[in-house]
C-alpha cells in the first residue's frame, strides 16, 4: 500500500511565554476546534509533568483552546483539582488509568500500562475529540500544539491514522541487528496477525520509515472507523510469542526489557502510512546515557557535540530526552539550559500543586551501576591530572618543568 501522507511543516519554535497574569490567559473567544493533548506518567516520570504541561500552554497563542489529559499512577488529591481551577490557563484532566478495563493493560506494571495507554485514546477521550497529540513526559514543548493539530489529517492526509517525525533511515537500517533480524525470520505477515486484506506485506513493512512514538498525533476518527485498536490488540500478543515485543536499543518503562513496547506495533502497522511532521517536533537524544559497557561516555559527548554544532535544540519545537538520563535526574547536560527554566516557570505558576514532587519516585539509585561508572571516570581524571604534573622518563618520574624545557623527551637527563 503506497504511503498517502505528506509532511506538515512548522517554521520552528514560537515563544508566547507568560506568567499566570498574562492577558492571553483570559481569552474567552471561540476556538477553531479544541486541541487535545495526552500524556501518561508513572511515579518515575511525575517530576516531568509540571514542566511539560506548563510548556504546552506557554507556547501557544490559544492556551484556552487546549485540553491536556494526564493519565498517571495513583489518584490526584483534592488540592490538585483546586490548583487546576486556580491556574486556569487551559483545561487539564488528571486521572488514574484503569488497567483492568483494557485487554492489553491487564496484569502489566503501572509503567508498562501507561506506556500502552495511547492505544486506547479513542475510548479514553470524548467522542467529540477528532485527534489528539500524545507526548511523553520527558519532553518540553516550545511551539504551538493547537496550530499543529489544526493542520493535521486534512486534505490528502484525512485518512492517515497517525502523524509522527520520520527518522532519516528506513526500518531495516535503523533497527539493524534488533527488530529487523527478528522480522526477517517470519514466513508471512500472518504470523504477526497482519491480515492480507489490510494490504500489508513484509517487504513493505521493512521499507517503511522508522519513527519515534514519543510525539505522535492520532487521527481518532480513523482509529474508530477502522477499529485500529483491535488490530493492535491482535498484534501485540503475536509479537510477544515471537519475542519481538521489544528489542535492543528501545526505551522501555521501568527498564523492563520483557515489557511490550508501544513503539513496535505502531512502527509495523503504520511505518508506510503516516503523515510526516516537521523534524523540529521530535528533537531527541537529549537523554543519551553512559551505558555500563562503555569505558567512557563517548556517545554522550558525541550527542553534545552534535547538538552544539547543528544548533538543532534552538530550533526545536519539542525537545525529547530519549535515553536513560532524564532531565530531572540532576546531572543531565542539556537540562540547565533547556529544562530548568521550564521547571522553574511551572513551579511559579503552581503546577507543583497539581503534580506534587512528593508523589514522584526518582533516584539515581534506580541505576545501580551509576556510582560504578562515576568511580571509573573519577579514577581516569586522577590519572590524567597526575600525568599533567609528572612524566615517566627512563623509568623515573620527571616534573614538567624539567622535561618541558627539553626539546626531545628521550634525551632528558634526570638529576642525581
Instruction: Write out 11-77 in H/E/C secondary structure.
Output: CCCCCCCCCCCCHHHHCCCCCCCCEEEEEEECCCCHHHHHHHHHHHHHCCCCHHHEEEEEEECCCCC
> What share of the chain in percent tops pLDDT 70?
62
Q: Compute and round to an integer the Cα radius of gyration of the chain.
A: 25
pLDDT(110) > 70: yes
**Among 157, 140, 170, 154, residue whose Cα is nearest residue 346:** 140
H/E element, 67: strand 66-72
Helix axes 340-349, 49-58, angle to 10 degrees: 90
pLDDT score, position 31: 78
User: What residues contact 22, with CB distance under 8 A and at least 6 apart?
Assistant: none
pLDDT(127) > 90: yes
Mean pLDDT of the chain: 76
pLDDT score, position 173: 59
Phi-psi label, residue 260: left if phi above 0, alpha if psi -120 to 50, beta otherwise:
beta
pLDDT tens digits for range 221-238: 999 999 999 989 988 887
Q: 3-class DSSP state for residue 215?
A: strand
pLDDT(292) > 90: no
**Cα separation, 239 vs 413, whole angstroms:** 69
**Cα separation, 53 vs 45, whole angstroms:** 13
Q: Where are the alpha helices (DSSP H) in 311-403?
A: 335-338, 340-349, 351-354, 370-387, 400-403
pLDDT score, position 268: 81
pLDDT(305) > 90: no
User: What residues contact 273, with CB distance under 8 A and at least 6 apart?
Assistant: 1, 3, 4, 5, 160, 161
The answer to whether 338 and 286 have CB atoms below 8 angstroms apart is yes
pLDDT(361) > 90: no
**Among 154, 125, 192, residue whose Cα is nearest residue 8:** 154
pLDDT score, position 310: 79
pLDDT score, position 148: 97
**Cα separation, 345 vs 50, whole angstroms:** 9
pLDDT score, position 281: 97
pLDDT score, position 16: 39
Hey, what's the cell of 215? 510525539
Which of 101-110, 252-261, 391-400 tops mean pLDDT?
A: 101-110
22-56 b/e with 16+ CB inside 10 Å = b? eeebeeeeeeeebbbbbbbbbbbbbbbbbbbbbbb
DSSP 8-state assignment for residue 208: S
User: What residues contact 266, with CB distance under 8 A and at least 6 apart?
Assistant: 162, 164, 211, 213, 216
Cα 367 to chain center, whole Å?
19
**Cα separation, 268 vs 263, whole angstroms:** 9
pLDDT(400) > 70: no
pLDDT score, position 307: 76
Q: Which residue has the higher pLDDT, 377 or 57?
A: 57
Q: How confident is the model at residue 33 (pLDDT cuts 50, 70, 90)?
A: confident
Q: How confident is the model at residue 112 (pLDDT cuts 50, 70, 90)?
A: confident
**Cα separation, 268 vs 207, whole angstroms:** 10
pLDDT tens digits for range 168-208: 765 655 555 556 566 666 656 666 666 654 555 666 666 67
Q: How many CB atoms lie within 10 A of CB 304?
A: 16
pLDDT(26) > 70: no
pLDDT score, position 196: 55
Cα 388 to chain center, whole Å?
41
**Among 312, 256, 310, 260, residue whose Cα is nearest residue 284:** 312
Amino acid at each position: 500500500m503506497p504511503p498517502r501522507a505528506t509532511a506538515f511543516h512548522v517554521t520552528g519554535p514560537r515563544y508566547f511565554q507568560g506568567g499566570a497574569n498574562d492577558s492571553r490567559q483570559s481569552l474567552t473567544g471561540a476556538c477553531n476546534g479544541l486541541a487535545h493533548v495526552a500524556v501518561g506518567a508513572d511515579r518515575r516520570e511525575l517530576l516531568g509533568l509540571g514542566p511539560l504541561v506548563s510548556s504546552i500552554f506557554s507556547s501557544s497563542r490559544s492556551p484556552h483552546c487546549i485540553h491536556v489529559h494526564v493519565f498517571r499512577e495513583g489518584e490526584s488529591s483534592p488540592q490538585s483539582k483546586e490548583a487546576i481551577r486556580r491556574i486556569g490557563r487551559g483545561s487539564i484532566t488528571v486521572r488514574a488509568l484503569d488497567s483492568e478495563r483494557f485487554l492489553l493493560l491487564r496484569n502489566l506494571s503501572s509503567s508498562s500500562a501507561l506506556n500502552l495507554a495511547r492505544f486506547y485514546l479513542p475510548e479514553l477521550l470524548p467522542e467529540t475529540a477528532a485527534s489528539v497529540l500524545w507526548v511523553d513526559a520527558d519532553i518540553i514543548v516550545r511551539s504551538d500544539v493547537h496550530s499543529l493539530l489544526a493542520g493535521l489529517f486534512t486534505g490528502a492526509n484525512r485518512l492517515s491514522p497517525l502523524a509522527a517525525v520520520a527518522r532519516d533511515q528506513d526500518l531495516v537500517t535503523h533497527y539493524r541487528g534488533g527488530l529487523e533480524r527478528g522480522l526477517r525470520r517470519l514466513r508471512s505477515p500472518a504470523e504477526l496477525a497482519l491480515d492480507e486484506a489490510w494490504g500489508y506485506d513484509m517487504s513493505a513493512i521493512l521499507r517503511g520509515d522508522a519513527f519515534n512514538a514519543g510525539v505522535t498525533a492520532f487521527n481518532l476518527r480513523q482509529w474508530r472507523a477502522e477499529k485500529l485498536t483491535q488490530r493492535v490488540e491482535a498484534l501485540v500478543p503475536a509479537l510477544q510469542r515471537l519475542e519481538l515485543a521489544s528489542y535492543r536499543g528501545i526505551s522501555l518503562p521501568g527498564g523492563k526489557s520483557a515489557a511490550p513496547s508501544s513503539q513496535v506495533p505502531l512502527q509495523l502497522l503504520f511505518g508506510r502510512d503516516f503523515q510526516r511532521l516537521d523534524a523540529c517536533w521530535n528533537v531527541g537524544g537529549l537523554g543519551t546515557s553512559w551505558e555500563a559497557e562503555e569505558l567512557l561516555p563517548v556517545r554522550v559527548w558525541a550527542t553534545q557535540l552534535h547538538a552544539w554544532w547543528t544548533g538543532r535544540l534552538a530550533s526545536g519545537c519539542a525537545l525529547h530526552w530519549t535515553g536513560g538520563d532524564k532531565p530531572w535526574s540532576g546531572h543531565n547536560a542539556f537540562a540547565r539550559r533547556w529544562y530548568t527554566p521550564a521547571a522553574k516557570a511551572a513551579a511559579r505558576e503552581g503546577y507543583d500543586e497539581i503534580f506534587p514532587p512528593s508523589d514522584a519516585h526518582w533516584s539515581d539509585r534506580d541505576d545501580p551501576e551509576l556510582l560504578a561508572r562515576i568511580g571509573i571516570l573519577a579514577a581516569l581524571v586522577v590519572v590524567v591530572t597526575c600525568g599533567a604534573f609528572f612524566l615517566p622518563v627512563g623509568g623515573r618520574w620527571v616534573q614538567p618543568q624539567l622535561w618541558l624545557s627539553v626539546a626531545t623527551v628521550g634525551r632528558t637527563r634526570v638529576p642525581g
